[in-house]
């Protein structure tokens, strides 16, 4: 008998050809193994043949022709000219201010020199002087703008000037939403504090709590933490001294609130001393962030001026509120946010600026792809770009896991990061991909926030994000830093085209790309045979299919992403099924992952769609035979 939760016995859960092919109903047979291996080989060969036959270059610029000498990304993709697409901003990334000119200590300047930091970015030039003056700061900055140094440099200077010692406990606390981002901030802090006597530490979920507690009791002057683990230590670790805190930094505040840490954050703020400096950074601005700013900041005096937000106008802590034209078009958005500001509406004036929400070096496009061709397009694209550095986003952990197993089984090497992967494995994969010159990383939105991965060539969004804010953060993994270049491609099914309206309102310039089906690697038959004959891939694919429908049903923009509008016959083909598999999918069920889904349903008014083993196609009109079309 094969256990329901089979142990694959492999580090990255990659399916091995010699032992992974089992019939769906009985013991392993040589026939099934041979058929599965043969199908995998045919997929790999056909993919290579499709790439060799394609010869139309498409490494297109978002507003122009292909760059001379570049390699095509997918030979069948061609741009549609869209004269309505707004041009990107042309403003400079760096300011004219040099780090050498700052009034900071020599040890920090020396470390900055070794980090090859010379000129300040715009956000650094505006934030660092105010923080050095002891002011509270509310910052809004595009992803990749250099905000980590914007709050770390003043923090290190503060500890150095007051001669903060380990016995004094924690003097600077940085809270970030994810383990990966926390680790990244910690790494930068270690470099910056190279010549300082202060101690540094990192606490986050998934790490050894006992070791963390021992270090905290010895004294950690600069502490980087995720909210849940930090609150745990504050409440339960005796000897953790945080009453002497001088500076609090909340990074990616919008993300912290979005993923459900609002209660933990409020509890942390209640325990911390009130006589502290506070710095709050948020890449996107919402009413909840405004509420947090009002609770945590005292007379903030800073706003990053060139940020264009989605959903709400920018939040200000100074006397000028900068708002993009797209925000002004929204109904009462400016007034809604002004009412939540610390000083009341009368203290602010409004300046309107026309800007886009993504950086100018990013070429962005979308492709209309029928549901049944999603895998074929992705496979052909990745085959063509094996020598590039590519990040591929999916909506669920199971989809990431399945595609990682499938691609590696058919000799297309990929790695993956998702929320169900153990912390050590996630960190190892992250560092390996950072150091790699080329590679394919499959991921969920756990990798979309704040992570600084160098020289990413392509961002591919197979599953569209929940809203334009998430889109901005996903594509922010490429074209980072001064002069950074990168490309982004989003898959949309015909019924999802309405999502473009939300993106345009958010100031996101997109071009349409098209592809002829004849240019795709025609491996559908081999894919279905492989999924049928390989037990583990069959199970993984079924889980991914169920998770895809689950994620789709919980999407926030239900006017566009309506699970009842899906043609499940076609959707199933993208997962290697000739007919939709029977799956249990009850959105009201209490199980793993149901809490976050329940929050989404309450927020967006969602409800169960009554998928079950007895009714795998969900609710449908009695006269609708579309689900069963051939």
Question: Can you give 13-37 as a three-state secondary structure string?
Answer: CCCCCCCCCCCCCCCCCHHHHHHHH
pLDDT value of position 334? 41
- 3-state secondary structure labels for all residues of 186-232: HHHHHHHCCCCCCCEEEECCCCCHHHHHHHHHHCCCEEEECHHHHHH
Q: Would 494 be classed as within a structural domain?
A: yes
Does 510 lie in the same domain as 447?
A: yes
**8 Å CB contact between 545 and 96:** no
Does 370 lie in the same domain as 316?
A: no
The residue assigned the tokens 């345009």 is: 504
Does 306 lie in the same domain as 438?
A: no
Does 267 lie in the same domain as 376?
A: no
pLDDT value of position 357? 53
Mean pLDDT score, 124-138: 88
Q: Would 260 be classed as within a structural domain?
A: yes
Mean pLDDT score, 568-577: 95
Q: Which one of 353, 384, 407 terminates a domain?
A: 353
Does 142 lie in the same domain as 266?
A: yes
Does 410 lie in the same domain as 345?
A: no
Does 182 lie in the same domain as 250?
A: yes
Q: Which one of 353, 383, 400 terminates a domain?
A: 353
Q: Would 9 be classed as within a structural domain?
A: no
- Full residue range of the structural domain in which residue 159 is found: 94-353
The yes-or-no verdict on residue 616 having pLDDT over 60 is no
The yes-or-no verdict on residue 424 having pLDDT over 70 is yes
Q: Would 258 be classed as within a structural domain?
A: yes
Q: Name the pTM for this structure.
A: 0.57
Does 301 lie in the same domain as 220?
A: yes
pLDDT value of position 582? 87
Q: Would 629 be classed as within a structural domain?
A: no
Does 280 lie in the same domain as 132?
A: yes
Does 370 lie in the same domain as 276?
A: no
pLDDT value of position 258? 78
| DSSP sequence for 573-623 | HTTT-SSPPP--B-TT--STTHHHHHHHHHHHT-----B-SS-TT-S--TT
Picking from 369, 384, 370, the residue whose alpha carbon sits closest to that of residue 458 is 384
Task: Give how many domains the chain has, as a whole number.
Answer: 2
Q: Which one of 328, 353, 378 terminates a domain?
A: 353
In the structure, what pLDDT confidence band is assigned to residue 584 with cuts at 50, 70 and 90? confident
In the structure, what pLDDT confidence band is assigned to residue 566 with cuts at 50, 70 and 90? very high
Mean pLDDT score, 39-65: 51
Q: What is the CATH number of the domain that holds 420?
A: 3.40.50.300
Does 344 lie in the same domain as 383?
A: no
Does 181 lie in the same domain as 60?
A: no
**8 Å CB contact between 534 and 402:** no
Tens digit of each residue's pLDDT (9 = 90 or more) over 310-334: 333 333 333 333 333 333 333 334 4
Q: Would 17 be classed as within a structural domain?
A: no
Tens digit of each residue's pLDDT (9 = 90 or more) over 490-548: 999 999 999 998 888 888 878 888 877 888 888 999 999 999 999 999 999 999 999 99
């Amino acid at each position: 008998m094969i256990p329901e939760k089979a142990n694959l016995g492999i580090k990255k859960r990659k399916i091995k050809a010699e032992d992974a092919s089992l019939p769906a109903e009985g013991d392993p047979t040589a026939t099934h193994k041979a058929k599965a291996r043969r199908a995998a080989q045919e997929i790999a060969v056909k993919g290579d043949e499709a790439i060799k036959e394609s010869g139309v270059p498409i490494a297109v610029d978002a507003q122009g022709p292909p760059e001379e000498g570049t390699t095509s990304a997918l030979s069948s993709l061609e741009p549609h000219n869209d004269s309505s697409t707004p041009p990107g901003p042309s403003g400079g990334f760096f300011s004219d201010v040099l780090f050498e000119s700052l009034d900071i200590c020599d040890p920090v300047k020396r470390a900055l020199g070794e980090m090859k930091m010379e000129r300040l970015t715009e956000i650094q030039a505006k934030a660092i002087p105010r923080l050095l003056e002891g002011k509270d700061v509310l910052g809004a900055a595009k992803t990749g703008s250099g905000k980590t140094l914007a709050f770390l440099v003043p923090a290190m200077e503060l500890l150095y000037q007051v001669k903060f010692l380990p016995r004094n406990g924690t003097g600077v606390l940085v809270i970030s939403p994810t383990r990966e981002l926390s680790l990244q901030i910690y790494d930068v802090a270690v470099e910056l504090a190279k010549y300082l006597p202060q101690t540094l530490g990192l606490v986050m979920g998934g790490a050894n709590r006992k070791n963390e507690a021992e270090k905290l009791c010895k004294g950690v002057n600069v502490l980087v933490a995720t909210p849940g683990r930090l609150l745990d230590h504050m409440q339960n670790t005796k000897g953790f001294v945080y009453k002497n805190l001088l500076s609090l930094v909340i990074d990616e505040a919008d993300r912290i609130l979005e993923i459900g840490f609002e209660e933990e954050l409020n509890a942390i703020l209640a325990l911390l001393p009130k006589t502290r400096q506070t710095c709050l950074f948020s890449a996107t601005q919402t009413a909840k962030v405004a509420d947090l700013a009002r609770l945590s900041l005292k007379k903030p005096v800073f706003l990053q001026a060139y940020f264009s937000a989605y959903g709400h106008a920018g939040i200000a802590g100074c006397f000028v509120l900068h708002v993009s034209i797209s925000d002004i078009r929204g109904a009462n958005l400016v007034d809604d946010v002004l009412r939540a500001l610390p000083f009341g509406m009368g203290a602010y004036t409004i300046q309107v600026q026309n800007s886009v929400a993504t950086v100018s070096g990013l070429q962005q496009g979308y492709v209309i792809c029928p549901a049944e061709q999603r895998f074929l397009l992705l496979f052909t694209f990745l085959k063509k770009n094996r020598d590039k550095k590519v990040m591929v986003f999916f909506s669920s952990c199971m989809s990431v896991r399945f595609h990682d197993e499938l691609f590696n089984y058919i000799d297309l090497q990929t790695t993956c990061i998702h929320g169900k992967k153990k912390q050590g494995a996630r960190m190892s994969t992250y560092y390996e991909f950072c150091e790699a010159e080329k590679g394919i990383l499959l991921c969920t939105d756990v990798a979309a926030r704040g992570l600084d991965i160098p020289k990413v060539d392509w961002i591919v969004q197979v599953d569209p994000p929940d809203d334009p804010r998430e889109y901005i953060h996903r594509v922010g993994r490429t074209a980072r830093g001064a002069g950074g270049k990168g490309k982004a491609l989003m898959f949309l099914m015909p019924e999802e085209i309405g999502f473009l309206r939300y993106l345009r309102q958010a100031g996101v310039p997109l071009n349409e790309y098209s592809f002829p089906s004849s240019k795709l690697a025609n491996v559908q038959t081999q894919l279905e045979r492989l999924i049928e004959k390989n037990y583990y891939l069959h199970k993984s694919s079924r889980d991914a299919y169920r998770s895809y429908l689950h994620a789709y049903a919980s999407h926030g923009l239900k006017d566009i992403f309506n699970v009842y509008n899906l043609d499940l016959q076609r959707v199933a083909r993208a997962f290697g099924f000739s007919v939709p598999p029977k799956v249990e999918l009850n959105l009201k069920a209490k199980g793993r992952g149901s809490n976050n889904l329940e929050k989404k349903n309450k927020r967006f008014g969602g409800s169960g769609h009554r998928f079950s083993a007895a009714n795998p196609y969900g609710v449908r009109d009695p006269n609708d035979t579309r689900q069963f079309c051939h």
